[in-house]
């Protein structure tokens, strides 16, 4: 933006120099061409040829004839010279003459100077830290965002959870009439390139409101106070247009957890964060302003940001599964000359690719096709592009379509799902996927727990069995030598449950109804027994789970195969498989 302004600054500068040059040339020419003897001048007077005499104190004076020509002659410096001239009907001017050919470049010079001054003043204001306008920090107000929900493939849950926001933006009065309090802020979290910005734009597009976007890192500057003032300006600008979607990318740059150590020099960040929170509580629901923020580090955010009335709705944006990838391929090939591209096959090959990466794959293929002057983008171009894109991302292990990884994850998740279905059917499994979530491991199995105020011993035990199901399936299929770290979180949660049961909930034998924590500072408790009891419980459950999975071997196989193929399965798919394969 600033560079652009600087470029324009060049225009008045050039014209100033040019007009100055013309001015000088004209003047030089004049000095040379016209000088007459005083006697000739007197002749001109008597011949009534003289129109104006420019009378100054210099040794020579300028004379203008009636035909427009100019010359100089000696200044007589007599006292009645002016009187004589006037009596002869000659105009007397007491300044230097100005010809038309001179005045044009001179005016040009003055105007250029003025423009230059104004522009550089403006420029200085843009770059000076104290008076930043939002323009200078690339808040782009797209008056009408061209995106809508159909521009986004997959992420149906996320789309579903912003639908009411769109409705609210269209018609905020309706919601206030019912006294409904809409969230002021939403956080979209997930891997980079999964379409968080896209979703925010789509919300603005669907609602038909302007979209303002900035990145958290734009706010963090060397100068203290700049970030806060940018926040205020951003909100001012957005509010001046009524309804709006304000999008703040990389919110973690300003909203990172404060780590206690006050000497981190994070004054600037605190001020910026406070300004944001103040602005957010400053407008009311009726205004129809929604702030959407994106991050890939949800766990890093300051809890102050997440409180009610601030960013109180959190929406996960996941990597696309095979169906979504198909749609993304179709979307990005839509307006390109593509021939016989096997989208099905490409969606298979691009497991763990983000939407952005698929886009760059297609783009790379288009560039290759163009380089070859090929009429169409074909599979061979995608093939080449694929190795380019992969090579560029080689370091990130997960990007490789490792069939083995996919297989392990599939069996692991199938294990969770089957145990859940068999021992804990009251928790309905809504989704099983081998596409990783930003929260955790390789894949996940999502079940909706029942809403009970108390969790009883039986429930906790079954919950542990479900957690152990992933590792158990791995062990059954791949052998105990080949189990993976994929069960890290499961084991952690399971240990947490069993230790709570034994040491806090009074559900174990060793401590009975005692809570371990209450004795921690008076006794040197022998924790060995507690550990032993926990271990026995978990081992016993693990064996049960393994037996269960072995007896459900058919289902385990069919479920895993389906997962490898389709990547995401829902409740109905699971039930269907369970019925067929038994």
* Site size toward ligand ADP, by CB under 6 A: 18
- Which of 257, 338, 259 shows the shortest CA–CA distance to 298? 257
- Which of ligand ADP, Zn ion, none is residue 470 near (CB under 5 to 8 Å by kind)? Zn ion
Q: By CB under 6 A, name the one of 255, 288, 355, 470 that touches ligand ADP.
A: 355
Adjacent-strand bridge partners of 65 = 50
Q: Which stretch binds ligand ADP (CB under 6 A): 193-201, 217-225, 228-236, 471-479?
A: 193-201
The DSSP result for 92-105, as a single string, is EESS----HHHHHH
- Residue pair 529/510 in contact (Cβ under 8 Å)? The answer is yes
- Which of ligand ADP, Zn ion, none is residue 303 near (CB under 5 to 8 Å by kind)? none
> Residue 413 catalytic?
yes
* Cα 569 from Cα 421, distance rounded (Å): 14
| List of residues 6+ apart from 482 with CB closer than 8 A | 474
- Residue pair 249/211 in contact (Cβ under 8 Å)? The answer is no
For the chain, the C-alpha Rg in angstroms (whole number) is: 39
Would you count residue 331 as binding ligand ADP (CB under 6 A)?
yes
Would you count residue 204 as binding ligand ADP (CB under 6 A)?
no
Q: Which stretch binds ligand ADP (CB under 6 A): 24-32, 98-106, 351-359, 531-539?
A: 351-359
Binding to Zn ion (CB under 5 A) within 442-501 occurs at 470, 490
Would you count residue 153 as binding ligand ADP (CB under 6 A)?
yes
Q: Which stretch binds ligand ADP (CB under 6 A): 152-160, 165-173, 460-468, 493-501?
A: 152-160
Would you count residue 533 as binding Zn ion (CB under 5 A)?
no
- Which of Zn ion, ligand ADP, none is residue 193 near (CB under 5 to 8 Å by kind)? ligand ADP
Q: By CB under 6 A, name the one of 105, 183, 185, 195 that touches ligand ADP.
A: 195
User: Which residue has the closest beta carbon to ligand ADP?
Assistant: 355
The 10 Å CB-count burial string (b at 16+, else e) for 501-537 is bbbebebbebbeeeebeeeeeeeeeeeeebeebbeeb
Q: Which stretch binds ligand ADP (CB under 6 A): 24-32, 149-157, 175-183, 281-289?
A: 149-157
- Residue pair 196/294 in contact (Cβ under 8 Å)? The answer is yes
Would you count residue 152 as binding ligand ADP (CB under 6 A)?
yes
Which residue in the list 191, 250, 413, 533 is annotated as catalytic?
413
Instruction: Give SS3 for 294.
Output: strand
Would you count residue 193 as binding ligand ADP (CB under 6 A)?
yes
Is the Cβ of residue 198 or residue 476 nearer to ligand ADP in the bound state?
198
- Which of ligand ADP, Zn ion, none is residue 483 near (CB under 5 to 8 Å by kind)? none
Within 10 angstroms of residue 89's Cβ, the number of other Cβ atoms is 10
* Cα 158 from Cα 316, distance rounded (Å): 7
Judge residue 453's burial from the number of C-beta atoms within 10 Å of its C-beta, 0-12 exposed, 13-18 middle, 19 or more buried.
Answer: exposed
Would you count residue 361 as binding ligand ADP (CB under 6 A)?
no
Structure tokens that stand for 14 in this block: 């050039």
Adjacent-strand bridge partners of 73 = 61
Would you count residue 192 as binding ligand ADP (CB under 6 A)?
yes
- Residue pair 277/305 in contact (Cβ under 8 Å)? The answer is yes
- Which of ligand ADP, Zn ion, none is residue 154 near (CB under 5 to 8 Å by kind)? ligand ADP
CB of 320 to ligand ADP, least distance (A): 6
Kind and range of the H or E run holding 265 = none
* Cα 137 from Cα 234, distance rounded (Å): 10
- Which of Zn ion, ligand ADP, none is residue 169 near (CB under 5 to 8 Å by kind)? none
- Residue pair 362/336 in contact (Cβ under 8 Å)? The answer is yes
Angle at CA of residue 359, ends 354 and 360, nearest 5°: 100
CB of 489 to Zn ion, least distance (A): 7
Would you count residue 350 as binding ligand ADP (CB under 6 A)?
no
CB of 315 to ligand ADP, least distance (A): 12
* Cα 88 from Cα 379, distance rounded (Å): 96
Binding to ligand ADP (CB under 6 A) within 517-556 occurs at none
Q: How crowded is the C-beta side of 286, counted as CA atoms within 13 Å?
A: 5
Give residue for tokens 């307006």: 335
Is the Cβ of residue 196 or residue 313 nearer to ligand ADP in the bound state?
196
* Cα 302 from Cα 260, distance rounded (Å): 12
Q: By CB under 6 A, name the one of 158, 328, 421, 556 that touches ligand ADP.
A: 328
Would you count residue 196 as binding ligand ADP (CB under 6 A)?
yes
| List of residues 6+ apart from 92 with CB closer than 8 A | 52, 53, 55, 82, 85, 86
Would you count residue 198 as binding ligand ADP (CB under 6 A)?
yes
Would you count residue 155 as binding ligand ADP (CB under 6 A)?
yes
Q: Which stretch binds ligand ADP (CB under 6 A): 30-38, 153-161, 335-343, 489-497?
A: 153-161
- Which of ligand ADP, Zn ion, none is residue 309 near (CB under 5 to 8 Å by kind)? none
Would you count residue 356 as binding ligand ADP (CB under 6 A)?
yes
Structure tokens that stand for 160 in this block: 């579903």
Structure tokens that stand for 582 in this block: 């038994």
Would you count residue 405 as binding Zn ion (CB under 5 A)?
no
Within 10 angstroms of residue 350's Cβ, the number of other Cβ atoms is 24
Would you count residue 154 as binding ligand ADP (CB under 6 A)?
yes
CB of 13 to ligand ADP, least distance (A): 39
Pairing of strands 568-570, 185-189: unpaired
Pairing of strands 428-433, 50-54: unpaired
- Which of ligand ADP, Zn ion, none is residue 443 near (CB under 5 to 8 Å by kind)? none
Q: Which stretch binds ligand ADP (CB under 6 A): 40-48, 187-195, 209-217, 492-500?
A: 187-195
Would you count residue 305 as binding ligand ADP (CB under 6 A)?
no
Q: Which stretch binds ligand ADP (CB under 6 A): 27-35, 354-362, 476-484, 501-509?
A: 354-362
- Which of ligand ADP, Zn ion, none is residue 508 near (CB under 5 to 8 Å by kind)? none
What DSSP state is assigned to residue 35? B
Structure tokens that stand for 248 in this block: 């703040």
Active site residues: 413
Residues that bind ligand ADP (CB under 6 A): 152-155, 192-198, 294, 320, 328, 331, 355-356, 359
Residues that bind Zn ion (CB under 5 A): 470, 490
């Amino acid at each position: 933006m600033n560079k652009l302004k600087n470029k324009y600054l060049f225009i008045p500068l050039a014209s100033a120099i040019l007009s100055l040059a013309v001015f000088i040339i004209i003047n030089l020419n004049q000095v040379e061409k016209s000088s007459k003897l005083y006697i000739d001048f007197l002749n001109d007077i008597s011949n009534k040829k003289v129109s104006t005499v420019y009378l100054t104190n210099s040794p020579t004076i300028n004379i203008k004839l009636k035909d427009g020509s100019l010359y100089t002659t000696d200044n007589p410096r007599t006292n009645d010279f002016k009187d004589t001239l006037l009596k002869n009907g000659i105009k007397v001017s007491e300044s230097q003459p100005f010809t038309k050919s001179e005045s044009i470049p001179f005016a040009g010079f003055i105007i250029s100077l003025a423009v230059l001054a104004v522009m550089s003043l403006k420029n200085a204001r843009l770059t000076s830290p104290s008076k930043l306008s939002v323009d200078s920090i690339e808040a782009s107000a797209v008056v009408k965002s061209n995106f809508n929900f159909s521009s986004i493939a997959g992420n149906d849950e996320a789309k579903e959870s912003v639908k009411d926001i769109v409705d609210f933006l269209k018609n905020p009065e309706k919601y206030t009439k019912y006294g409904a309090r809409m969230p002021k802020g939403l956080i979209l979290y997930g891997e980079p390139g999964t379409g968080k910005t896209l979703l925010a734009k789509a919300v603005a597009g669907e609602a038909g409101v302007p979209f303002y976007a900035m990145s958290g890192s734009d706010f963090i500057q060397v100068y203290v106070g700049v970030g806060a003032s940018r926040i205020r300006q951003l909100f001012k600008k957005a509010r001046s247009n009524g309804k709006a979607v304000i999008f703040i990318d990389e919110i973690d740059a300003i909203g990172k957890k404060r780590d206690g150590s006050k000497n981190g020099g994070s004054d600037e960040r605190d001020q910026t964060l406070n300004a944001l929170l103040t602005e957010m509580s400053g407008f009311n629901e009726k205004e129809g302003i929604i702030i959407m923020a994106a991050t890939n580090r949800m766990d890093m955010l300051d809890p102050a940001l997440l409180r009610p009335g601030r960013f109180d709705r959190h929406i996960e944006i996941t990597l696309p599964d095979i169906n979504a990838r198909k749609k993304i391929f179709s979307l990005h090939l839509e307006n390109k000359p593509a021939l016989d591209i096997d989208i099905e096959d490409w969606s298979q090959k691009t497991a763990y690719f983000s939407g952005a990466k698929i886009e760059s794959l297609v783009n790379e293929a288009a560039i290759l096709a163009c380089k070859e002057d090929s009429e169409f983008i074909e599979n061979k171009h995608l093939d080449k592009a694929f190795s380019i894109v992969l090579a560029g991302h080689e370091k990130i292990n997960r990007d490789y379509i490792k069939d083995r990884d996919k297989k392990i994850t599939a069996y692991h998740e199938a294990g969770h799902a089957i145990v859940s279905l068999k021992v804990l059917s009251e928790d309905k499994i809504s989704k099983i996927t081998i596409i990783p979530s930003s929260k955790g491991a390789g894949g996940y199995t999502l079940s909706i727990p029942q809403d009970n105020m108390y969790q009883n011993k039986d429930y906790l035990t079954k919950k542990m069995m479900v957690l152990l199901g992933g590792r158990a399936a791995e062990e059954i299929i791949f052998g105990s030598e080949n189990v993976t770290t994929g069960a890290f979180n499961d084991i952690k949660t399971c240990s947490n449950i069993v230790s709570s049961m034994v040491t806090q909930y009074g559900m174990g034998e060793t401590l009975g109804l005692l809570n371990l924590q209450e004795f921690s500072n008076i006794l040197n408790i022998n924790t060995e027994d507690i550990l032993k009891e926990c271990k026995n419980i978990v081992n016993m459950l693990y064996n049960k789970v393994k037996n269960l999975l072995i007896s459900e071997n058919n289902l385990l196989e069919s479920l895993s195969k389906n997962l490898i193929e389709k990547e995401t399965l829902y409740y109905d798919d699971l039930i269907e498989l369970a019925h067929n394969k038994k």
